Every structure is written in structure tokens, then in C-alpha cells.
A and B are shown apart, each in its own frame.
Chain A
Amino acid sequence: MIDPKKTDVTPLFWESGLEVQPVYTAQDVESSGGFDGVGQPGEYPYTRGIHPQMYRKRPWTMRQYSGFGTARETHERFLWLIRHGQTGLNVAFDLPTQCGLDSDDPMAAGEVGRVGMAVDTLRDMEEAFADIDLNEITVSLTINGSAVAIMAMYFALARKRGFELKDLRGNSQNDILKEFIGRGTWIFPVEPSIRLVGDTMEFCAQNVPRYSPVSVCGYHIRASGANPAQEMAYGLSIATAYIDHALQRGLKIDPVAAGITFNYDIHGNLWEQVSKFRAGRRLWARILKEKYKATDPRGLRLRMIAGGGGGGLTVQQPENNIVRGACYALASALSGTQTMALCSYDEAYTIPSEHAAKISLRTMQILIHEIGLCDTVDPLAGSWFIETMTNRMEQRIVAIMDELEKQGGIVRAVAEGRVQAAVNAQAYEMEKKIQTGEVKKVGVNIFAEEEEEEEREVEFHPYRGEEAKKQIDRLERIRRERDDLATQRTLERVRQAAQDGENVVPAVMDAVETYASVGEVCGVLKEVFGTYREPVRF
């Protein structure tokens, strides 16, 4: 018999460093750890998915990232997406809002409403979500540094509209540790930042139990250059850091774990993505059960939004991104995601146009309705290749997490800039491989076309300065018309709570209800906590 492993093919390695054989047999599964960890869908350790029937019962939620300009414009895009069959909302905020600055802050100039919706006060949130049934459409708030203010606004809005907080679903990103690694919308130093995440976790565990206050984002760590194994490892480590903090505050593991969801990226090798998610799901369940003694299955299940893939898209020959997006969506579905967001083909250079956003939505709908991706659960299970690589990926992720733990844990590694340096080193190696052609990108280093950019008709999302002006006028009007005494009094309560180590969420809710602005709330917190100083390492 010919031994396929003795062929003369060039050795092949995935980005995560795992070697791939040309052929797999049952032997490989056995020698990598066996079939024991596969289990059944909907059962511990959830390798095959967190629900017994997965998409046969309900396809994944489609939740495209959207938001730009003012609340009014964003509201229109939300309604348009819902009309076209989207089942959740994934809200983009502009940079001033994300950095805790009001639209009239000097640092906000030129950025108001540019990469997302501008939110200064509760009035903006009221307008953005007007007429949208917050029990029907689950809302995901992509907000981190200023999350406590925006979450408080969302809860205040829900309460005002008559929704019961105890029934409210949805989630906030609220993962500040990954903002220090990549994306960079931090505000406060590391320790108080984690404490604020803890405040929201505690508030939700006690008052908004069906809401997920934290969505840990391996996504942006991957987008900053981490390989898929690092992405999963850092994500899980960050989640344990929040859990450790919550437990120190006296919270119970089960409600805390139930409030954590994940956001992971998909681009690159299809099989590597599938192995990453199957391994990550299993590992998360094991960590919660073995280390934290969690028992509630809600927390043991790694629930995720997976898709995006912006890091894989190219400015060159942008229509190719439609095909890439379809492959990423396929990988996401084969990985058993709960929610999918898919980058639009023009996202490498602009805010998605309606046309591009609709193609992304249709891509997911085609996978659901035409291709058969909802037919059966975890269709790749039992493949000698996939099970071997799932085992090996799990071992690789564990090794990265253990190493981090040995060096004092992820919080310290982030504060000292070591994770950032590791991710950046990885990004540099990858970029060099793309530039030398060792890693191939179609339209970039193979099948590239000269000067096509000039001939191409490109639709850019317009940025209108007058909308920013309107936003500032509106903020000024609100400041004039609100009961300013009440605002100042409630802001003082926020300061007290922050100083005394009390949970700040109730005080922030009171403040935003009087139309205190994001900048005012974050300003008070900055006075108490100070501002983060970036360890500049590269």
C-alpha cells in the first residue's frame, strides 16, 4: 500500500502554525486525542454546536453592522435592513461616541457621524430605535470604552418605552481588554475599565438577566494580526479575566457566564476556521465546568457572532470580496454560529453602500434557503481531517492560554503591552509574506491588474459636514432645554458611586434620563479614574 504521507508534496502549515497532511485517516484522529471530545450537538462539551438541532430549528440570526451620520439616518437604515429580512441590529457608533466625547468636543471635529451613528444624549437613542420592537429585534451595541453610558441609555430607553428590563434581550460589545490590544477606543486605565465592565455585568445579572452585557471580541484581535489560534486563545483568556473579576465581587458563576457571548472573525483558511470554532466551543465548556464549576448550560455554551472577515477583503478588484464573503459565511455556518454579520464588498474602502449591504444580506439568505446549510447539524463532524485538526487546534489554544497564565495572566500582559507586541509581530510576518507573495491574495499579489482603480466606478459613502453641524446644534438645544440642575445632581451621584466603588450603572441611568451626555458621563468618570496611557510598543 502506498503511504500517502510519504509523498513529495511541499509541507503545508496553517496560519496558526498547525501542519496539514495531504490525507487523513482514523489513525490521525486517535493519535491527536481521539473521538471522545466530539459528543452530541446540544450536549457538553458542545463541539458539534450548542443546540441539538441547530439550524434545522432556526437559522442563524443575520445582524449586519450598520449606523452612520445622525440617529435619523441610522434609523432609516435600520428600518430598511429589517424590511429586507434582517433579524437583528448591530449598531455602529461614530468615533467620538466610542471615545466618550460629545460631538462639540474639539477632538471630535471631522469625525462626527463618520464611521457610525453620533450619539450625544438619550434623545439620539430614542430617535434611532423609534418604532422598533426591542423584544422582536435583538440589538447589539458595538460600544466599549463608553459602554456604561450607552448601555445605560439603552436600558433607560427600553424602560421608557415600556419594555421590562427583566425580559430585555440583546448584547453590548463592552469588551475593553480587546480595545487595548486592537481597535483602540479605550478611555480609562486598565483596572477601572475592568471594574466598569464588572459594574455592567453585575447590573445585568441582577436586573437584565436575559441581556448579554459582554461580547468578547477575538474579532478585533484577529483583525490586528493575531492568527486564528491566538484569536481564540486571547478571547477565551479575556472572558476568564472578566469572570474572575465578577467572582471577586461576589457574583455567582452561572449568571455571570450566561451573560458572556463571543464575537469572532472569519477570514483565511476555511478548515482552520471550522477547527478553531469547534475546538474553542469545547474548550470553553471545559474551562467553565472544570475550573469554574459552572453547571448552567447557558453559560457553558459558547454563543457567538461569527463572520465579518474585513481583514480578508481587498481594495483591489472589490467584486472579488463578494465571493470571499460567501466563503466566510459558509465557514461561519459550518462552524455553527448563532449570529452572522458579513462585511460588505466595499468595506475595505468605505462605509457599505445600500447595494453592497444588500448583497451581504442576500449571500446569507442564499446559504440558508438554497444551498442546504441548514439541513443537518455540524455536517463536517466525524471527518478524520476535521476531528484531527479540532483536537490539534484545541491543544494549540490551550498552549497559548497556559503560556499567558504563566506570565501573570492576560490583564497584566495587556497592561504591559506584551499581547499587543505579540500580535503586531504576527501581523508584520504575515504582511511580509503577502508582500513577497509567499501568502497569496488574488488581485493583490497574483492576478493583479494595473491601474484598474482609476477606471473603476467607486461609490463612496458621502460625509456631510452639515449633518455634524446639526448634531452639535441639537446637543446645544438639549443642554439648554433640559432640567440642568437635575443633570448636574445626577452626574454628581455618578462621581460619588465611582469614587466609593459602588456600582455606577444605576447612577448613570439616572443621569442619562435627564439627558446628560456621553461626554459628560465619561468626563466625570475620567476625573475619578484618569485616562489610559498607551504603552507604545510595536
Chain B
Amino acid sequence: MSKPIRVLIAKPGLDGHDVGAKLVCRALMDAGMEVVYTGLRQSPQAIAQTAMQEGADVVGLSILSGAHVHLCREVAEELKNKKIDDVLWVVGGNIPRQDHRALCDLGVSGIFPTGTPFGSLIAFIREKVKM
């Protein structure tokens, strides 16, 4: 049997809306993945550090405050600093379509706005992360 996909779900910045992040954690666990959740108010440095320590295949950021472009820019910087270039980076939350391009340019592979069915996120991860 192949080893399970490891996912880090993180809440960057000050946004306290963690319902979606926790729902995604549960859904991914139910889909057989190993999930680490950081809790609230993580700095981009701490997120990159945790991703490295945990050997994450996937890093998922949940952002609903509207500060996604700013925060993703900082996370991209940290991932680069730590030479983490083999993780699948996804973002969820309150992300308007007009900002999708900006996030993709920073290295985000998939954007899953609030209300996305769990199934599409799970399928996306399984397809992109070849174990």
C-alpha cells in the first residue's frame, strides 16, 4: 500500500474564521490523507517551517479576511527561502475570481473558494500528488 498523502492546513495572518479550514481537515482525513492543522495566526515563516518539518506534500492556506494576495506573497517568499519547491500549494476561502491570476502567478496550484465541494479538492490533490 502506498503511503498516505500528507497535508498541512494553515491559517496565515489574523483571520479567525477557521470553520472552513477545520472542515477541510476532516474531509481530507476521511479521504485517507494525513492532516496537520496549524491553528490560527501563523506567520508565513512558521507555515513554511512547519511544512518542511512535517514533510508535507500539500500546503493548504485558508484565508477569508481579504488579505490573501498579501499573505500569499509572503508565503511564496518563505517557501522560496527554504527551497521548498516540491509541495502542492492550494488556497481556500473568500477568494474572488479577479484575484485568482495573481495567486497563480505566485505559485498557487489550485484555488478552492468557500463552498467548493470536498470531492473536487480531494480529486485535485490525488491527481497532482503522485505518491
Contact = CB atoms under 8 A, between A and B. Distances in A.
Interface in A506-538: 534, 536, 538
A431 B43 CA distance: 29
A183 B14 contact: no
B26 interface: yes
A168 B98 CA distance: 45
A460 B97 contact: no
A458 B26 contact: no
B23 to A, nearest CB: 5
B66 A115 contact: yes
Contact of B23 (A108, A110, A314, A427): A427
Interface string A84-123: 0000000000011011010000011111001100000000
A240 B35 CA distance: 36
Contact of A428 (B23, B66, B71): B23
B52 to A, nearest CB: 19
Contact of A111 (B13, B37, B98, B115): B13
A115 B23 contact: no
Nearest to A536: B39
Contacts of A111: 13-14, 65, 67
Given A349-B96, A460-B98, A315 B115 contact: yes
B17 A96 contact: no
Contacts of B94: 349
A538 B115 contact: no
Contacts of A109: 70, 74
A431 B19 CA distance: 10
A95 B65 contact: yes
Contacts of B4: none
Contact of B97 (A101, A183, A348, A454): A454
A99 B14 contact: yes
Nearest to A182: B19
B67 A114 contact: yes
A538 B65 contact: no
A225 interface: yes
B95 to A, nearest CB: 9
A98 B13 CA distance: 13
Interface string B90-131: 000010111000000000000001110111000000000000
B123 to A, nearest CB: 13
Contacts of B15: 95, 184
A326 interface: no
A179 interface: yes
Contacts of B114: 315, 348
Interface in A259-295: none
Tell me what chain B mostly uses at the interface: helix, strand, loop, or mixed. Answer: loop
Nearest to A105: B14
A536 B26 contact: no
A477 to B, nearest CB: 24
Interface string A411-436: 00000000000001001100110010
Contacts of B26: 424, 428, 538
A120 to B, nearest CB: 15
B19 A224 contact: yes
Contacts, number: 92
Nearest to B66: A114
Contact of B19 (A96, A351, A427): A427
A314 B74 CA distance: 30
Given A453-B97, A538-B25, A316 B115 contact: yes
B49 interface: no
A185 interface: yes
Contacts of B21: 538
Nearest to B18: A184
Nearest to B95: A349
A155 interface: no
A463 interface: yes
A107 B14 contact: yes
A444 interface: yes
Contact of A431 (B18, B23, B37, B40): B23
Interface string B28-52: 0000000001111101000000000
Nearest to A185: B16
A114 B18 CA distance: 18
B94 to A, nearest CB: 6
A435 B117 contact: yes
A260 B106 CA distance: 47
Contacts of A99: 14, 41
B40 A114 contact: no
A424 B18 CA distance: 10
A159 B65 CA distance: 34
Contact of A183 (B17, B38, B39, B41): B17
B102 to A, nearest CB: 13
Question: Closest 10 CB pairs between A and B?
Answer: A184-B16, A110-B70, A95-B14, A538-B22, A110-B67, A534-B39, A536-B39, A538-B25, A184-B40, A183-B16
13 contacts: A99-B41, A107-B41, A107-B43, A110-B67, A114-B66, A182-B18, A185-B14, A314-B115, A315-B114, A349-B96, A350-B96, A453-B97, A536-B37
Interface of A: 95-96, 98-99, 101, 107-111, 114-115, 179, 182-185, 223-225, 314-316, 348-351, 424, 427-428, 431-432, 435, 444, 453-454, 458, 460, 463, 534, 536, 538
Given A95-B13, A109-B70, A179-B16, 16 more contacts: A95-B15, A98-B14, A107-B14, A109-B74, A110-B70, A111-B67, A183-B17, A348-B114, A351-B66, A424-B19, A427-B22, A432-B118, A453-B97, A454-B97, A458-B96, A536-B38
